[in-house]
Chains A and B, each alone.
Chain A
Amino acid sequence: MSWETVIGLEVHVQLATNSKLFSGSATAFGAEPNTQASIYDLALPGTLPVMNEEVLRMAVSFGLAVDAEIGKRSVFDRKNYFYPDLPKGYQITQLEFPTVGRGSLKIQLENGSEKTIGITRAHIEEDAGKSLHEDFQGMSGIDLNRAGTPLLEIVSDPDLRNAKEAVAYLKKLHSIILYLGISDGNMSQGSMRCDANVSVRKKGATEFGTRTEIKNVNSFKFVEKAINYEVQRQIELIEDGGRVVQETRLYDSDKDETRSMRSKEVANDYRYFPEPDLLPVIIDDEYIAAVRATLPELPAARCARFVSGYALSAYDADVLTSDRAMADYFEAVVTLCGDAKLSANWVTVDLLGLLNKSDLSISESPIKPEQLGTMIARIKDNTISGKLAKTVFEALADGETNVDQIIESRGLKQVTDSGAIEKLVDDVIAANPDQVAQYRAGKDAVFGFFVGQAMKISKGKANPAQLNELLRNKLKAD
């Protein structure tokens, strides 16, 4: 039996405003409990919400980045439910008229092709506080620092067909959000949280299967694992003659499994209705144009420019532009050394390797773009060989800062004096008559042996191009 997986994602992005959605409280992460909660956040009677306009700008900029329809009139609604970390007893959200309507974004599949994923909508809403269940002797503590923090909930169409696509979509969203600067996108701190709606159906079926919702998965890796687990669970359940129950499930990363949280069949009735304390938000074309004018170059456009402008492969361009800071780093290096291809290799292979090994982000890189750019420039101007550049790179990674000093102090400068190289070649030929005979008898592979010998004697400093040329000439001539 062949199964098809259907996945839709709901992604909550915490917007990086200085103050909350409807109050002036600060939104910094990690403050002492309840030190960032105003009388409005505590829902003291008589207090009223006042919309933070920066949130609107951020939501509209996201909408424009995913080619979405922008709601000219968005309306806030109350979603009613009781929970101690929801002080008002309702969450202010947007139900029928969200600020961001239908849009889409493209993801790259593993086979290199592109796929367009529909975005159903993105709406503005306020976050809840946190319930703390430890350290209170059988009671719960409530921290309202997060209550009222602005969220953008981005809902995808059920267009994703496997966990890898889901992760590719998430990474693309993450990248756009960081480019726009509307969130720090930090998944472990909850700045970006993902709920996955997962169902399976027989290949070729047109109806969707019953879906489950996996809540709050907090890393790309766990999203992939949670979906894979859930897909397998559903398939096995159906194949064993059972049926999937529509419910919310929680992913336990320690056990790598999902388990039932609550059944949607007995779900809350949220009794949505328009929020009477807020007027509808009306925006015009002029406002939208003004936000559009402030948009940075987005990953897709930058990737295309890297391919056309720097002649990079689509793969390299995609790797470099997925992260705004990485793309900025790369462009700084290119500006210094003038060689895009070489820069791309050093950044995507050596630098990324180094960062991955020590689990650092590009902004935490021990090697600054000026240093890498200077180093590549020294390769270009034949001061050092590409091979010895690795030594420079390692010295930079270990905290040395001046490229030219590293070359100087370690004597890494290439020998480009043709007289010196000629002597070297003569010495190698003289010392290895057997191999010379083999070569002249037509065994071309021996050529590498001469190069190796010459490099060994020169400690790798002979200019490889000059060395090759002289070697060939001399071996032929004699």
Chain B
Amino acid sequence: MLSKTVAELAGALTRKEVSARELTQAYLDRIHQLNPALNAYVTITAEQALAQADAADARRAQGNAGPLTGIPIAHKDIFCTRGVLTACGSHMLHNFIAPYDACVVERLEQAGAIMLGKTNMDEFAMGSSNETSWFGPVRNPWDQARVPGGSSGGSAAAVAASLCAMATGTDTGGSIRQPASFCGLTGLKPTYGRVSRWGMIAFASSLDQAGPLTHSAEDAALMMNAIAGTDLRDSTCLELPFEDFTAQLNQPLSGLRIGLPREHFTKDLNPAVQAILQEAIRQLELLGATFKEVTLPNNYLSVPAYYVIAPAEASANLSRFDGVRFGYRCANPANLDDLYKRSRGEGFGDEVKRRIMVGTYALSAGYYDAYYIKAQKIRRLIKQDFDLAFNEVDLILGPTSPHTAFKLGEKVSDPVTMYLEDIYTIAVNLAGLPGMSLPAGMLNGLPIGMQLVGPSLSESRLLNVAHQFQKNTDWHTQRPEV
């Protein structure tokens, strides 16, 4: 039962094969059993979850349940939750209890989803392996010696290990898609502005976007129906009419034109991953899609541009963590400078400090033009590459990650190698486009994803292609033995 998709569980709840309370209790039991090893959750809200489950059962009995009513969910610990610890993977917020819910949390609660707890993550979403968390690393359910990817590693591991039916993630440079690839999940990063950032702790404001981590494209569409949409509290959130992301799922793919970026299919790509992608391409051709090569000539600049822009924004976004009003405060500060230096020095981990320093440097007088302004110019070029490509094709297909999940400790001491993890995903954030990763095959017992990228606001089309692919393949149905 617990390994079912959201759509399947919704059916079971409707047919009264199971109650929300039973389902919730079963997940809680499994969390209790497996989480000590996986470390996917940092906070478990059992009592609150059971109360929500009872409410969901009552709502279903009244006949006004939606598809997510009674479905247990895990929230990345970057989303503020009223009355429940929101630590964002950091010692800095080890004691922070927000008096408000993030917009995403609020909307999923309104849809009747049941929060099981908060999931582990790289500290302030800075990392690609979930190893920078103050709460310790998360282990990949497919191989516990390996990382689940990051920064939404806890959410990905929780869904993969059936510790919840679905989870929220956030994606600033690949933090939904790369863990989805490493854990065999479907992960969608929506168009920038699709989902409100209100109540989501900011890493890089112009890049951050919340999205679903699920077993299937259909589940992702159901979650998108709940979380997407205008929110006046976020000025960058787009004002759009309601869109039913499930409506296009069953459209045939005939006539679909898919681009393969020359720059992604080079000798740098692991041949085994390349072979898996070729098989996926063949499958999509059978479904009616046609393929052609496209070029994204500035893609190679995306990692350096990102590691100027994201740290620059982060350096300001993280200034509020100063030990004055909330969060970690050092013991016995001698004076104001000492309070700042030690609270931040002791409260932040190394990767966060590294990025604050990089960002501060990039914005400094004398360097601003050479780094920040130049990076913004590159950002426009990257967006332009995509615009030109989408004149010729409907979507772009490529790898999500250069390889399958790597071993814990393998890259954590080498930041540049770690940063290159996101080489295929980062450009999508810089361009503000929707991108998703879905399981495309297995390599040595480990899942590997492929990435679909579409023009602005093409989530329904991406989900449609992914759903049709999943109807004809079974990679997304595979579950690890934990």
Residues of A within 8 A of B (CB): 39, 42-51, 78, 80, 82, 84, 87-90, 140, 142, 269, 271-273, 276-279
Chain A residues positioned under 8 Å from B232 (CB to CB): 50
Looking at A45, A51, A279, which has the most chain B CB atoms within 10 Å of its CB? Answer: A45
The 8 Å CB contact of B313, one of A269, A276, A278, is A276
Chain A residues positioned under 8 Å from B204 (CB to CB): 276
**Do A46 and B320 form a contact, CB below 8 Å, given A87-B325, A269-B365, A278-B235?**
no
CA distance A49 to B235 in the complex (A): 7
B320 touches A45 (CB 8 A): yes
A273 touches B201 (CB 8 A): no
**Do A43 and B320 form a contact, CB below 8 Å, given A48-B235, A50-B233, A276-B313?**
yes
Contacts beyond the supplied A44-B326, A80-B315, A142-B325: 14 A-B pairs with Cβ under 8 Å: A44-B80, A46-B197, A84-B322, A84-B324, A88-B320, A90-B316, A90-B319, A271-B360, A273-B313, A273-B363, A276-B204, A276-B205, A276-B206, A276-B236
CA distance A276 to B202 in the complex (A): 11
Contact with A along B211-248 (1 / 0, CB 8 A): 00000000000000000000011111000000000000
A82 touches B360 (CB 8 A): no
Chain B residues positioned under 8 Å from A51 (CB to CB): 235
CA distance A88 to B313 in the complex (A): 13
The 8 Å CB contact of B233, one of A45, A48, A279, is A48
The 8 Å CB contact of B201, one of A42, A45, A90, A277, is A45
Chain A residues positioned under 8 Å from B79 (CB to CB): 46
CA distance A46 to B198 in the complex (A): 6
Main secondary structure of the interface of B (DSSP, over half): loop
Residue of A nearest to B364 (CB): A269
B324 touches A46 (CB 8 A): no
Residue B102 is within 8 A (CB to CB) of chain A in the complex:
yes
A277 touches B236 (CB 8 A): yes
Separation in Å of the B72 CB from the closest CB of chain A?
23
B197 touches A48 (CB 8 A): yes
The 8 Å CB contact of A277, one of B100, B205, B360, B363, is B205
Chain B residues positioned under 8 Å from A90 (CB to CB): 316, 319
CA distance A87 to B336 in the complex (A): 14
Chain A residues positioned under 8 Å from B465 (CB to CB): none
B185-206 residues with Cβ-Cβ distance < 8 A to A are 197-202, 204-206
The 8 Å CB contact of A46, one of B200, B360, B368, is B200
B99 touches A39 (CB 8 A): yes
CA distance A272 to B372 in the complex (A): 11
Number of B residues, CB within 8 Å of A: 43
Residue of B nearest to A22 (CB): B235
The 8 Å CB contact of A47, one of B198, B313, B325, B365, is B198
**Do A46 and B199 form a contact, CB below 8 Å, given A39-B99, A271-B364, A273-B312?**
yes
Chain B residues positioned under 8 Å from A272 (CB to CB): 363
CA distance A90 to B312 in the complex (A): 13
CA distance A195 to B312 in the complex (A): 31
Contact with A along B294-328 (1 / 0, CB 8 A): 00000000000000000011011001111011100
Residues of B within 8 A of A (CB): 79-80, 86, 88, 93, 96, 98-100, 102, 197-202, 204-206, 232-236, 312-313, 315-316, 319-322, 324-326, 336, 340, 360, 363-365, 368, 372
Chain B residues positioned under 8 Å from A42 (CB to CB): 325-326
B324 touches A80 (CB 8 A): no
The 8 Å CB contact of B235, one of A82, A84, A88, A277, is A277
The 8 Å CB contact of B236, one of A39, A45, A88, A279, is A279
B200 touches A273 (CB 8 A): no
What are 24 contact pairs spanning A and B, CB under 8 A?
A44-B80, A44-B98, A44-B100, A44-B325, A45-B93, A45-B96, A45-B98, A45-B201, A45-B202, A45-B321, A46-B79, A46-B80, A47-B198, A47-B199, A48-B197, A48-B198, A48-B233, A80-B363, A84-B322, A84-B324, A88-B316, A89-B316, A271-B365, A279-B236
**Do A39 and B100 form a contact, CB below 8 Å, given A45-B201, A48-B198?**
yes
Chain B residues positioned under 8 Å from A48 (CB to CB): 197-198, 233-235
CA distance A89 to B356 in the complex (A): 13
B198 touches A89 (CB 8 A): no
Chain A residues positioned under 8 Å from B80 (CB to CB): 44-46
A89 touches B322 (CB 8 A): yes
Chain B residues positioned under 8 Å from A140 (CB to CB): 336
Chain A residues positioned under 8 Å from B100 (CB to CB): 39, 44, 46
B102 touches A279 (CB 8 A): no
Chain B residues positioned under 8 Å from A45 (CB to CB): 80, 86, 88, 93, 96, 98, 201-202, 320-321
Chain B residues positioned under 8 Å from A78 (CB to CB): 316
B372 touches A273 (CB 8 A): yes
Chain A residues positioned under 8 Å from B93 (CB to CB): 45
CA distance A82 to B277 in the complex (A): 49
Chain A residues positioned under 8 Å from B234 (CB to CB): 48
Residue of A nearest to B96 (CB): A45
Chain A residues positioned under 8 Å from B235 (CB to CB): 48-51, 277-279
CA distance A49 to B233 in the complex (A): 7
